[in-house]
Amino acid sequence: MKKNNVEGFAFIGRTFLEYCEMFNLTDDELSSYSFLDCPAGACSFTAEVHKRNIQATAVDCEYGLALSKFLEKCEIEIESWIF
């Protein structure tokens, strides 16, 4: 597998389960705390915990872009990755 050389911005979206595994979050911890996801990028963590009535806020400097520019950056990033 070829590694992708990232220069500057890297748009990576992790799933809720990846966050839980990465930070070893238990159900008790999820229900006992509020969360700040920063930089959140395209991650689904905040959306998923909101479905569980858990307080979380996702922030990312890229969220200030116009939607069309944000989508353009996403498309460029997706096209640059070699799987």
The helix/strand/coil state of 55 is coil
State the Cα–Cα distance between residues 23 and 17, nearest whole angstrom.
10
pLDDT tens digits, one per residue of 6-62: 555 566 678 899 999 999 999 999 999 999 998 888 788 999 999 999 999 999 888
| pTM of the predicted protein model | 0.67
